[in-house]
Amino acid sequence: MSLSFRVIFFNAFNRTKLNAPTSTNALATQTTSGGIPAAGFGYVNSSSLFGQPRSGQFLARFEF
């Protein structure tokens, strides 16, 4: 009999991808929502800041 374990990670080194801030109109007034810029010059679209989430699988195999 033998027992083996294995862990598999998908996207283990997930890195943050920051979008460039808007720079089209320097005279646009920046609006904030809760202290975080929501629109205007220098606004960063935060809807797609991160890549795919990390995930993993734990496997156990028992042979007899």
Report yes or no on whether pTM surpasses 0.75: no
Using DSSP bridges, classify how beta strands 55-63 and 31-33 pair: parallel, antiparallel or unpaired.
Answer: unpaired
Per-residue pLDDT of the chain (64 residues; tens, 9 = 90+): 999 999 998 877 776 666 667 777 777 777 877 777 777 777 777 665 555 667 889 999 999 9
- The pLDDT value given to residue 13: 77
Rounded CA separation 53/8 (Å): 14
φ, ψ for residue 28, nearest 5 deg: -70, 130
